[in-house]
Homo-oligomer: A and B are copies of this chain.
Amino acid sequence: MTYERFLSRGANAMRESAIRKMGAIGARVPDLISFAAGYPDSGTFPWNAFREIASELLNGHDPNALQYGATRGYRPLVDDIGQVLESHGIRSTFEERLVTTGSQQGLDLVGRLLIDPGDVILVELPTYTGAISAFRNTQAEMIGVPQDADGIDVEALDSTLQSLRAAGRRVKFLYVVPNFQNPSGLLIGLAKRRRLLEWAERRDVLLVEDDPYGELFFPDRATREETRPIKADDTTGRVIYLSSFSKTLAPGFRVAWVVAPAEMIAKFDLAKQAADICAGALDQRVIHQAIHRGVLATQGERLRTHYQHKRQVMEHALAERLGDRMSWTTPRGGFFLWGRLAGGVDAEAVLAHALESKVSFVIGRAFYVDDSGHDTLRLSFSQPSDAELEEGVARLALAVARAR
């Protein structure tokens, strides 16, 4: 029996994420060093705190700790999120926040609430594959806009919008990752953030601002002030803002959030009710307690130094082994180093050799909605140990040499 005749158009359009695919390939190669998955380093998770908290939560005194809960989220956590936002300059009311089952769910709900088949979504070139998947599944057409050294090119953005409108297309929003973008690692400058907001107002489009990495700025290259979300200056309700505890606490708890005007959040609530009723009761309570006990605050400081060090190790190794065959901009935060191969070498050819040498990465093309970027690649430095970073780069250098 075959099933094509039963599948929706959306289902027929679905594609496997290049990142998840690399994960599956990686799982089959023993002793592989993975620069592919953008996983946080599980060695940094505050295991003891989580164990104590979970143990207390499961003593049976709170009957709701394992029960269905409000779709909006566990109220004390929704309140905590308000304070986390406040520390990033974003003021919000309870009615403007909703807990999501990971930020991927936030992206999925954005797609479902805002996109009709054929609507146009503007994205950066390159952009996050999880967003590409979510928006493609609602049959958006994604149009890419190139980046400068400080992020998306605002002139190109506006001319793209204008020509789409001239062609009668409906543009719903710009999806943008201003802080240490996955995959490019770029930080959008503060002046450009203001211009983006002003542009969205003037052109009447929404901004969907995705900010999983804002806490992870590297003190040697960036300041907290430089990570100020666009949403912090949004006085008219133009920005839908997404963030997560996955990179600062742990992704195994599927707890993230979205902040948007109350009228929009009411729609997110309806969509989430039908999508999965509510986020995990225990997960949300563990995160709440971790915030309440100061664990989140401690983690921020610790992770900034930790991942900065890893970036330094990878970058040193790259400079030594690949300095003349690959160029990159030093990441100022986050998990990713974005490389461009000299002489237009195809990253896919390098990948084939890399897997033979037992190192993996994600080809840059996976992040381009226009299928460009063949000579680019994303290297995650977040998870491997120092020794693995060095050995992995050595293997990668071999693969690049072979592919040339």
Contacts and interface: CB of A to CB of B under 8 A. Distances in A.
A276 B58 contact: no
Contact of A8 (B39, B107, B112): B112
Interface in A7-66: 7-11, 14-17, 20, 23, 37, 39-40, 42-43, 45, 47-48, 50-51, 54-55, 58-60, 63-66
Interface in A46-97: 47-48, 50-51, 54-55, 58-60, 63-71
A275 B108 contact: yes
4 closest Cβ pairs, A-B complex: A252-B281, A66-B252, A51-B58, A66-B250
A404 interface: no
Contacts of A133: 273-274
A271 B282 CA distance: 25
Interface stretch (A151-159, A212-220, A260-268): A260-268
Interface stretch (A98-106, A297-305, A327-335, A392-400): A98-106
Contacts of A59: 47, 51
A14 B271 contact: yes
27 contacts: A1-B238, A3-B261, A3-B263, A6-B172, A6-B206, A7-B267, A8-B116, A8-B119, A11-B114, A11-B271, A14-B271, A20-B71, A47-B58, A47-B60, A50-B58, A50-B66, A65-B252, A66-B250, A102-B277, A104-B274, A104-B275, A130-B274, A137-B271, A137-B274, A253-B282, A276-B276, A283-B283
A110 B12 CA distance: 13
A252 B47 CA distance: 21
A189 interface: no
A154 to B, nearest CB: 21
A266 to B, nearest CB: 9
Nearest to A23: B70
A163 interface: no
Contacts of A113: 7-8, 10-11
Interface in A206-242: 206, 236-238
A146 interface: no
A87 to B, nearest CB: 24
Nearest to A20: B273
Interface of A: 1-3, 6-11, 14-17, 20, 23, 37, 39-40, 42-43, 45, 47-48, 50-51, 54-55, 58-60, 63-71, 101-102, 104-105, 107-108, 112-116, 119, 130, 133-134, 136-138, 172-173, 206, 236-238, 246, 250-254, 261, 263-264, 267, 270-271, 273-283
Contacts of A2: 263
Contacts of A237: 1
A66 B253 contact: yes
B105 A275 contact: yes
Contact of A58 (B6, B54, B108): B54
Given A45-B66, A68-B251, 14 more contacts: A8-B116, A11-B114, A16-B273, A17-B274, A54-B58, A66-B250, A69-B252, A101-B101, A101-B276, A104-B276, A253-B280, A253-B281, A254-B278, A282-B282
A101 B251 CA distance: 14
Contacts of A238: 1
Contact of A68 (B37, B108, B264): B37
B17 A273 contact: yes
A242 to B, nearest CB: 13
A280 B281 CA distance: 11
B274 A14 contact: yes
Contact of A112 (B10, B54, B65, B250): B10
Most buried by B among A8, A105, A278: A8
